[in-house]
A and B are shown apart, each in its own frame.
Chain A
Amino acid sequence: MIDTFSLLLTHGLIFLACWRLLGRDDLDREESGPATDLLGRPLPNESERTPPGA
């Protein structure tokens, strides 16, 4: 009974935490780094940039 309660509680919380991660863009990429290139010119927007590896 106690074992089942503990298993359900913690596993439920683990699963819910991972589920919440799905909707978070900052899991894989953060708004960071220079907003300009080496010469100080503004970089194109995130959506306009070529994805890495493409």
Chain B
Amino acid sequence: MRDLFFILFLAGMFGLGLRRPFILVLVYSYIDIVSPQRLSYYLLNSVPVSLLAFAGALGGWLLLDDKTDCRFSRRQGIMLLLLLYCGYTTLHADFPVEALTKWDWVWKALLFAIFLPLTLRTKLRIEALALIMVLCAGTIIITGGIKTALGGGGYGELNLMVDNNSGLYEGSIISMVAIAIIPLILYLSNYGTIYPPGRLTRLFAWAFCGACLLIPIGTEARTGLVCAAILAVMLWWHTRRRLLYAGLGALAVLVAIPFLPSSFTERMDTISAYQGDESASTRIQVWKWTLDYVRDNPLGGGFDNYLANSFTYQTVQKTETPGSVKVERVTVTDRGRAFHSSYFEMLGEQGVPGLLLWLALNLGTLVQSARLYRRYRNTDRAEHRWVAPFALAMAQGHVIYLVGSLFVGIAYQPFVFMLIALQIGATTYMRRRSSEADWRPIAVQAAR
């Protein structure tokens, strides 16, 4: 039944794409985020839908789209360099087989992110991509949110439709993404034109944001809680009545705590007491290992080179018995522990050049968002009023990503590359618009 549903849905979407080729770009984004192949049982697995959609999107753009004043931004150049560099490290990887497996999806994510801004020529296209991206993430988030509200959560236990713990379906990643897209959801509910602001749109947006906030609780991913706290501060900073909202926020937290599952509060307690937590102490060991590794191999070890690490260390274990708590030191040996941080993931796998490129890409995105925001914050032109709130939502989402990246290895997350592409699209679009606005005929220039 589910297979039939996906086939009909995709057939319908491809059909719409034949009328408007840009929709094929949206179809590819959908397939990349939701991975319907993973949700269906057999039929879709045998058809390369992803390849078909990409070929359609690229072909539609090459043959039918207007390419006047098509701009290739600096950040697209950085992504191209990163792609080439990742190709180089894959050829010289410490673990060639594993590296090739990761390269297989990383190159696609990077290539699509390089291509995507070229298609974002109109404001409506930017909005459409943003809308489809949040709705695609919503497929996973709404399921997880409802299940959490009904008490189905737990660390590594929340069922997000598939057993396969990869892509956006992984607990820490979806909890970071769910928080990062909240500003974008709010923006779309206030400035959208496909679903214009109205009671129903706002109701859905608020319910969606509620589901997003439930995801870190359901997955019990500590990163999500840290991200939610940062988001709360950022949203609060941009409110007019800061004192009122600070009071309301504190009250909401106090009211919510008794409703949180005890396993959640216990796990969140370990944020400050990391010595007692194996996962946290291992992270610090892996990070030290990465720094040592890069000292000897500054060009990086290729994808998944963390498999080489191994260390023995002592951690504190508490055993609670009625009436007493037994604290003892335990020796633990770990092998092949993942980086658990995008910064160290980049540094270890792609070395210093890769990390510098990645930082330039991400900081560039933040800086450009801030510039757009500042430039259009006080605009008096009605057609530009959407720019500052959009830029702010993108910047806030990106800050969440960069904070979440401290604790989760999501340096090559396709969804984030798409968000960066969306931001590049908005920047180049506004550059085009402002150069058009500055344009004066020669006759006028000569008369000056």
Contact = CB atoms under 8 A, between A and B. Distances in A.
Given A6-B146, A30-B123, A20 B194 contact: yes
Interface in A11-25: 11, 13-15, 17-22, 24
A39 B22 contact: no
B20 A28 contact: yes
Contact of B441 (A19, A28, A38, A52): A38
Contacts of A45: none
Given A40-B443, A40-B444, A21 B139 contact: no
B123 A26 contact: yes
Contacts of B16: 15, 18-19, 21-22
B105 interface: no
A36 interface: yes
**Interface residues of B, dominant DSSP:** helix
A6 B439 CA distance: 48
A27 B20 contact: yes
B147 interface: yes
A37 to B, nearest CB: 7
Given A2-B146, A27-B122, A28-B20, A33 B26 contact: no
A3 B161 contact: yes
A28 B64 CA distance: 10
B311 interface: no
Contacts of A13: 135, 138, 195
Nearest to B145: A6
Contacts of B444: 40
Contacts of A49: none
Interface in B1-60: 2, 5, 9, 12-13, 16, 19-20, 22-23, 26, 30, 39
Contacts of B13: 14-15, 18
Nearest to A25: B124
A18 B66 contact: no
Contacts of A40: 441-444
A28 to B, nearest CB: 7
A54 B150 CA distance: 59
A18 B26 contact: yes
A28 B122 contact: yes
Given A29-B122, A30-B123, A39-B441, A3 B143 contact: yes
A50 interface: no
A32 interface: yes
Contact of B135 (A17, A22, A36, A37): A17
Given A27-B125, A40-B442, A17 B132 contact: yes
A28 B22 contact: yes
Contacts of B139: 6-7, 10-11
Max chain A Cβ within 10 angstroms of own Cβ: one of B125, B138, B194: B194
Interface in B293-326: none
B124 A21 contact: yes
A10 B135 contact: yes
Given A6-B146, A15-B9, A40-B444, A30 B66 contact: no
B442 A22 contact: no
A36 B23 contact: no
B433 interface: yes
A52 B26 contact: no
Contact of B142 (A10, A27, A37): A10
A27 B20 CA distance: 9
B436 interface: yes
Contacts of A5: 142, 146
A35 to B, nearest CB: 10
A19 to B, nearest CB: 7
Given A21-B16, A38-B442, 7 more contacts: A5-B146, A6-B161, A7-B139, A7-B161, A13-B195, A34-B439, A40-B444
19 contacts: A6-B139, A6-B142, A7-B5, A7-B39, A7-B161, A10-B136, A10-B138, A10-B139, A13-B195, A17-B128, A18-B23, A20-B194, A21-B128, A21-B194, A27-B128, A37-B441, A38-B442, A40-B442, A52-B68
Interface of A: 2-3, 5-7, 9-11, 13-15, 17-22, 24, 26-30, 32-34, 36-40, 52
Q: What are the 8 closest A-B residue pairs judged by CB atoms, nearest first?
A: A40-B441, A40-B443, A6-B143, A6-B142, A10-B139, A10-B138, A26-B124, A18-B16
